[in-house]
Amino acid sequence: MKLVIDTNIYIDFAAGNSAVINAFLNFGEDLYLPAVVVAELTYGFIKGTKEKLNEKKLQEFIESLDVRIINIDRDTARKYALIYHSLVQKGRKIPINDVWIAASCLSIGGTLITRDKHFDSIEMIDLFSIDS
């Protein structure tokens, strides 16, 4: 399974959450991080007191688990537009970065691993939910 990692799932992994670690081990044949997730994490690192340490841990995570980064290209941008349009038609709003994360997931045919329930509003993507 291609697991696309949401920001909260990486944070849980970094904290040693056993449910996330087990999900990666049991279902994560291929792991992906959307560029938007990398941006959200980096912003958090900059705001915190351990920026360099957290950057190093993220890099080690990417290298040791052979995590691929999903960059935003024209195809991903189109999928973003389709997802956003669908949400507007339903009258549902979710954080705009999460629309990009969903579009990144859709662009590779992945399954988004997340704790955020608002992704349930997006029928176009497969979800692997982790309870908080």
pLDDT attached to residue 28: 81
- How far is it, in rounded angstroms, from Cα 90 to Cα 111? 22
Q: Tell me the pTM.
A: 0.95
As a whole-number percent, the residues of the chain with pLDDT over 70 amount to 99
d(C-alpha 50, C-alpha 107), whole Å: 33
In this prediction, what percent of the chain has a pLDDT beyond 90? 94
* Sign of the alpha-carbon dihedral angle for 62, 51, 37, 11: positive
Model confidence at 73: pLDDT above 90: yes
Q: For residue 56, which of 44, 45, 40 has the smallest C-alpha distance?
A: 45
Fold classification of 2-129 is Rossmann fold (3.40.50)
- For 38-50, write each residue's pLDDT tens digit: 999 999 999 999 9
More confident residue, 116 or 131: 116
- One-letter amino acid of 42: T
Average pLDDT over residues 24-29: 88
| Whether residue 132 has pLDDT greater than 80 | no
